[in-house]
Structure 1
Amino acid sequence: MSTDSDCLFCGIVAGDVPGTRVAEDEATYAFMDINPATPGHLLVVPKRHSADLLEIDPADLSAVTLAAQRIAAVARAELGADGVNLLNCCGADAWQTVFHFHLHVIPRYADDTMTPPWRPGAGGDADAVRATGARLAAALEPGGSSSER
C-alpha cells in the first residue's frame, strides 16, 4: 500500500494515530469523524494514499464508494436517520482540509441543524447552464480539449 508519512488519515489507517474504526476491508477503512456534523458522521478512505478525487485510482474510488453505500444504509437503519449525505471536497477552495481522498458519510435527521453551504434554489441562467454543459460535453468527447479523463 502506498502511504504518506505526513498524512493524518494514513496514520489513522496504520493505527499510529487514534481513531474510532467502524469498518475495514482490503481496500478501505472507515472511521468516525472527530468533529461530527451530525450523530454518526464518519469518513471512508482508501487504504492506499491519494490526495483527492482527481488523483485516486478508479478501483480505489469504486471501493470507497461501495463501502460508503453499505455503511450509509447501516447508519440510516441503526441510527434512525431520515437520510444520508455523501460529501467529498476536492481542493482547498472546495473545503478539503486533509489531503487524502475521503467520503464523508453524514446521517441526516429531520431535526438536525447541519446546513450545507449550498441549497438547490430557483435555478440558474438557462443559457449559461446550456453553454457550460456544451463546453464540458465537447471536452469529454474523444479528441476534446480536456486534459483530465
Structure 2
Amino acid sequence: MAVAYDPENVFAKILRGEIPSHKVYEDDVALAIMDIMPRAEGHVLVIPKKPARGLLDIAPDDLAALIKRVQHVAKATKRAFDAEGITLQQFNESAGGQVIFHLHFHILPRFEGVALRPPGAMGDQAKIKSQAEKIRAALGAFSA
C-alpha cells in the first residue's frame, strides 16, 4: 500500500520558506541546498518543487526535468571542490534508507582515500554557507 506524501516534511517547509537553508540553485523545477549534516565537504541536496515522496511516485516527465538539474549541480559541485569524483545517492522508504520523505538526491564530492563522514552530525554553518557560495560561483560556468 502506498503511503501518502506528507506536506509537513522538512523539505516541504524549506520550499515554503518556513525553514532557512543555504540555497545553491533554484528554478521552477528544483531547489538545491546544502546538507546541514554533511557527509563530505560540499554535500548538496537537490529536491523537486513538486510534491513527491520518492523516486517511485514522481511523474516520469518531472523526474526527467529534475535529473537535468541534479546533473547541472553535480558538475558545478565537482568543479567547485576540484573533486576527483561524485557520489550520487537517492534513498526510497525506510527500508531503503530514506529518512525525509520528499524525493531528494545527495551530491557528494569525493576524493580517493577520503571516506564519507558518518551520518547525523551537524556541520559548521559558517563553513556550509561558504561552500554554498563556492558552488553558486561554479554554477555560473554551466548552463542548465
Sort the TM-score into its range (normalised by shorter chain): 0.7 to 0.9
CA distance in 2, matches of 1:20, 1:115: 20
List alignment gaps of at least 5 residues for structure 2.
119-144
Which one has more relative contact order, counting CA pairs under 8 Å at least 6 apart? 2
Query: Where does residue 47 of structure 1 map in the other structure?
Result: 49
CA RMSD of aligned residues (A): 1.8
Residue type at the aligned position of 2:10? L
Corresponding residue for residue 88 of structure 1: 90
| SS of equivalent to 2:64 | helix
Q: Distance in 2 between matches of 1:43 and 1:61?
A: 15
User: Alpha-carbon deviation of 1:69?
Assistant: 0.5
Number of the residue aligned with 1:29:
31
TM-score after normalising by structure 2: 0.74
**Following the alignment from structure 1 to structure 2, what is the Cα–Cα distance between the partners of residues 100 and 57?**
14
1:78 corresponds to which of 57, 80, 83: 80
Match of 2:18 in 1: 16
Q: Percent identity over the alignment?
A: 34
Please list, as runs of the form range in 1=range in 2, the aligned pairs for 1:1-149 lying within 5 A after superposition. 4-114=6-116
Contact 1:64 1:103 in 2 (8 A): no
Q: CA deviation at 1:32?
A: 0.4
Using the size of structure 1 for normalisation, the TM-score is 0.71
Deviation at 1:64, TM superposition (A): 1.8
**C-alpha deviation, 1:115, in angstroms:** 7.6
**What SS does the corresponding residue of 2:112 show, helix, strand or coil?**
coil
SS of aligned partner of 1:52: coil
Greater Rg, structure 1 or structure 2?
1
